[in-house]
Structure 1
């Protein structure tokens, strides 16, 4: 079994309330979940208006497939254009 995890740190512009931030983050989370059938959540920077962090995880039986899917998640998050991606991190764990 192979577990893949990823983190996306987002820079948000023209966000002046946590409600506006939550709208952007929820939109991105739901689109990623629907497109890739992965577990996604806001994992850090909950009280910041300008920054957000989204974490996700997926499970499979082939490391190269997991790696490719994680790359596609990063690419889609960038293509959505809801926020600027400041940093990404991925980890693949063989169990």
Structure 2
């Protein structure tokens, strides 16, 4: 059985940020929590120069597409539960 790789792109709205420093603090907390809880690779991949929005990328690998899909869905639900109203949309792809 071949391993599966999953990529998740999450677009976030951060209305409480009034500077790049405030935004980076929020994004950093999200990234660290995702890394610790799900053992995934996470990075801010877009909107770095905008105060109230961000795009984060999440990558995971597992033994099957089913496991990868379940992990990425849990990541989205976790962000939505932790930060209600912040997820604008997301895109997921599994290879």
TM-score, normalised to structure 1, is 0.94
Q: Give CA-to-partner distance per residue, 1:54-73, whole Å, 9 cap, x none.
A: 00100111111111111000
Per the alignment, residue 27 of structure 2 pairs with 25
Q: In 2 relative to 1, CA 30–82 (structure 1 residues): closer, same or farther, beyond 3 Å?
A: farther
TM superposition shift of 1:83: 5.8
Count of aligned pairs: 93
Q: Deviations over 1:30-67 (max 9, x none)?
A: 00000000000000000000110000100111111111
Q: 2:47 aligns with which of 22, 45, 48?
A: 45
CA separation of 1:28 and 1:82: change in aligned 2, threshold 3 A: farther
- Segment of structure 1 superposing worse, 11-20 or 35-44: 11-20
Cα RMSD over matched residues? 1.1
TM-score of the aligned structures, taking structure 2 as reference length: 0.94
After superposing on structure 2, the runs of 4+ consecutive aligned residues of structure 1 that deviate more than 6 Å are: none
Pick from 56, 59, 75 the counterpart of residue 58 of structure 2.
Answer: 56
Structure 1 stretches of 5 or more lacking a match? none
The answer to whether the aligner puts 1:76 opposite 2:91 as a matched pair is no
